[in-house]
């Protein structure tokens, strides 16, 4: 069997690593090998957004890089489809496997199906209901046309059933990203937070701000266009962090390229850089981010993946969104996260609630570190 799996942007890398590991394990135990080809669309291209993850997570260099780079969504998707069609015609795989919700999965699932190739979507069935999110459109399309839909939780399986997907196409396999977390916990724990701060600092390595027992620091990540592309939304969030979080504890902000660009455009970057208790860091590697998450008092984020990691690690998490495709991570479902949108009053209220919460790790069903094996089994057994 020949499988092409596709990655494009940062959140894909931690999801594909365990899948490749599962293929390698299968191949060592079987005479009939799976031939695996890894395609990187090249949506995320810099070292910090891409190469660092391949290195840390032991992902082999992509066999094919489509080199699409940045651009508008139509450009990214269009360029990916043109290049991926050529790959499919040459390699003629039995399956194309896409993971997550970035532009690559829309482009590659559509191209695969037009070439009459079987397509499997790992992390299927997530729904935010928010059609202004590019990721929601990507998910809907990939799920509608894929042959095999592997879901991270039962809520996602139910979403697919409600949309009329037949049962034989849906398989609840668990959360593949948590495989990566479990595989890397010990390695991450060995890292030193002061070193992380020193090595990745944008505004001077103020390592003295982190005390040696790592108590009391906050972590922020923001990248969604709905939070960072509009000044009237981004500025009050920045003010809250500067005026209300920084006086209480050091705040570590790992800055996504989009957000850095927007801070600069809105004339806010210098003010952020000059805050004494704010440590602005470059985008971090997987292990470094995991280490911060293991010790942070609180995380403020608009990332979907971090919501899941906070749940497993028990880190109180404020999700700066009005909705989530991952309800299982919310407090009402036993998770660690609460939706606060970008309303400062709500952010403030929930910040104080979260600050009184103790770390409470929870592992939802099948978030057990063995999802990739179940995904591969589902593909091999699919009829
Ligand atoms: C993408 C994903 C999103 C994911 C996020 C995580 C889609 C629709 N969105 O959003 O789901 O949560 O990645 O990072 O696929 N840039 C760099 N260096 C890079 C990559 C990007 O400087 O290596 C710049 C680009 O030039 C662009 C900006 O960052 O201006 C945003 O990149 P883009 O690929 O448009 O999407 P993300 O916002 O990263």
Residues of the domain holding 212? 185-355
Task: Find out whether 338 and 311 touch, Cβ atoms under 8 Å.
Answer: no
pLDDT in tens, 64-122: 999 999 999 999 999 999 999 999 999 999 999 999 999 999 999 999 999 999 999 99
Is residue 133 within 6 Å of ligand 1 at its C-beta?
no
pLDDT of residue 212: 74
More confident residue, 215 or 18: 18
Q: Is residue 180 part of a domain?
A: no
- Read off the tokens for 360: 């409470």
Is the pLDDT assigned to residue 335 strictly greater than 90? yes
User: What's the rounded Cα separation, in Å, for the pair 333 and 85?
Assistant: 41
Question: Which atom of ligand 1 approaches the CA of 135 most closely?
Answer: 8
Q: Strand, helix or coil at 344?
A: helix
Rounded average pLDDT over 251-272:
97
Q: Are residues 329 and 373 in the same domain?
A: no
Is the pLDDT assigned to residue 208 strictly greater than 90? no
- Read off the tokens for 292: 């911060």
Number of domains within the chain: 2
* DSSP annotation string for 285-301: PHHHHHHHHHH-SEEEE
Band (213; pLDDT cuts 50, 70, 90): confident
Is the pLDDT assigned to residue 264 strictly greater than 80? yes
Q: Are residues 167 and 103 in the same domain?
A: yes
Give 356's DSSP letter: T
Is residue 43 within 6 Å of ligand 1 at its C-beta?
yes
pLDDT of residue 210: 86
Rounded average pLDDT over 306-326:
97
Q: Are residues 38 and 167 in the same domain?
A: yes
Q: What is the CATH number of the domain that holds 230?
A: 3.40.50.2000
Is residue 223 within 6 Å of ligand 1 at its C-beta?
yes
Residue 9 Cα to ligand 1 midpoint, Å, equals 7
Residue 10 Cα to ligand 1 midpoint, Å, equals 8
Is the pLDDT assigned to residue 247 strictly greater than 90? yes
Is the pLDDT assigned to residue 215 strictly greater than 80? no
Any residues with CB less than 8 A from the CB of 23 and at least 6 apart, and which? 3, 34, 36, 376
Q: Are residues 219 and 88 in the same domain?
A: no
Q: Are residues 235 and 346 in the same domain?
A: yes
Q: What angle do CA 57, 9, 370 make, to 5 degrees?
A: 45
Is the pLDDT assigned to residue 214 strictly greater than 90? no
Q: Which residue has the least CA distance to atom 7 on ligand 1?
A: 102
Is residue 314 within 6 Å of ligand 1 at its C-beta?
no
Q: Strand, helix or coil at 281?
A: strand
Rounded average pLDDT over 291-320:
97
Q: Are residues 159 and 226 in the same domain?
A: no
Q: What's the whole-number average pLDDT of the chain?
A: 96
pLDDT in tens, 116-172: 999 999 999 999 999 999 999 999 999 999 999 999 999 999 999 999 999 999 999
Intra-chain end-to-end CA distance of the chain, in Å? 14
Is the pLDDT assigned to residue 364 strictly greater than 90? yes
Q: Are residues 245 and 221 in the same domain?
A: yes
Q: Is residue 361 part of a domain?
A: no
Task: Find out whether 185 and 167 touch, Cβ atoms under 8 Å.
Answer: no
Question: Which atom of ligand 1 approaches the CA of 11 most closely?
Answer: 6
Rounded average pLDDT over 339-344:
97
Is the pLDDT assigned to residue 352 strictly greater than 90? yes
More confident residue, 358 or 341: 341
Q: Is residue 232 part of a domain?
A: yes
Residue 287: CB atoms within 10 A of its CB come to 20
pLDDT of residue 278: 95
Bridging pattern class, strands 35-40 and 64-65: parallel
The pTM of the full predicted model, rounded to 2 decimals, is: 0.96
- Read off the tokens for 337: 């996260």
pLDDT of residue 53: 97
Rounded average pLDDT over 210-223:
88
Q: Are residues 171 and 190 in the same domain?
A: no
Q: Is residue 362 part of a domain?
A: no
pLDDT of residue 204: 81
Task: Find out whether 110 and 141 touch, Cβ atoms under 8 Å.
Answer: yes
Q: Are residues 316 and 376 in the same domain?
A: no
Rounded average pLDDT over 334-344:
96
Q: Is residue 360 part of a domain?
A: no
Q: Is residue 277 part of a domain?
A: yes
Own/partner pairs for 162-171, CB < 8 Å, 24+ apart? 168/383, 170/124, 170/125, 171/374, 171/378
Band (293; pLDDT cuts 50, 70, 90): very high
């Amino acid at each position: 069997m020949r499988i092409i799996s596709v990655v494009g942007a940062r959140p894909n890398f931690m999801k594909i690593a365990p899948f490749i590991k599962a293929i390698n394990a299968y191949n060592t135990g079987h005479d009939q090998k799976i031939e695996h080809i890894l395609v990187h669309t090249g949506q995320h291209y810099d070292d910090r957004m891409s190469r660092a993850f391949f290195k840390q997570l032991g992902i082999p260099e992509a066999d094919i890089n489509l080199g699409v780079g940045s651009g508008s969504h139509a450009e990214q998707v269009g360029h990916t489809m043109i290049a991926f069609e050529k790959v499919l015609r040459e390699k003629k795989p039995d399956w194309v496997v896409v993971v997550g919700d970035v532009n690559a999965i829309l482009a590659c699932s559509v191209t695969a199906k037009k070439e009459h190739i079987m397509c499997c979507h790992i992390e299927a069935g997530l729904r935010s209901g928010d059609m202004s999110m590019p990721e929601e459109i990507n998910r809907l399309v990939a799920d509608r046309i894929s042959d095999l839909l592997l879901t991270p939780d039962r809520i996602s399986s139910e979403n697919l059933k409600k949309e009329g997907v037949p049962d034989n196409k849906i398989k609840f396999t668990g959360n593949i990203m948590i495989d990566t977390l479990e595989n890397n916990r010990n390695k991450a724990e060995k890292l030193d937070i002061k070193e992380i701060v020193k090595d990745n600092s944008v505004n001077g390595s103020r390592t003295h701000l982190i005390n040696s027992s790592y108590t009391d620091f906050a972590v922020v990540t923001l990248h969604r266009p709905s939070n960072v592309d509009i000044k009237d939304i981004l500025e009050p969030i920045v003010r809250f962090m500067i005026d209300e979080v920084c006086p209480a504890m050091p705040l570590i902000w790992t800055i996504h390229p989009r957000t850095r660009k927007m801070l600069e455009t809105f004339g806010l970057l210098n003010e952020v850089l000059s805050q004494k208790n704010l440590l602005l860091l470059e985008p971090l590697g997987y292990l470094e981010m995991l280490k911060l998450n293991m010790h942070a008092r609180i995380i403020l984020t608009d990332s979907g993946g971090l919501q899941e990691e906070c749940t497993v690690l028990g880190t109180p998490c404020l999700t700066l969104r009005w909705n989530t495709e991952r309800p299982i991570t919310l407090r009402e479902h036993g998770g660690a996260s609460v939706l606060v949108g970008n309303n400062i009053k709500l952010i403030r209220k929930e910040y104080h609630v979260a600050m009184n919460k103790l770390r409470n790790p929870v592992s939802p069903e099948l978030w057990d570190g063995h999802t990739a094996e179940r995904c591969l089994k589902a593909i091999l057994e699919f009829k």
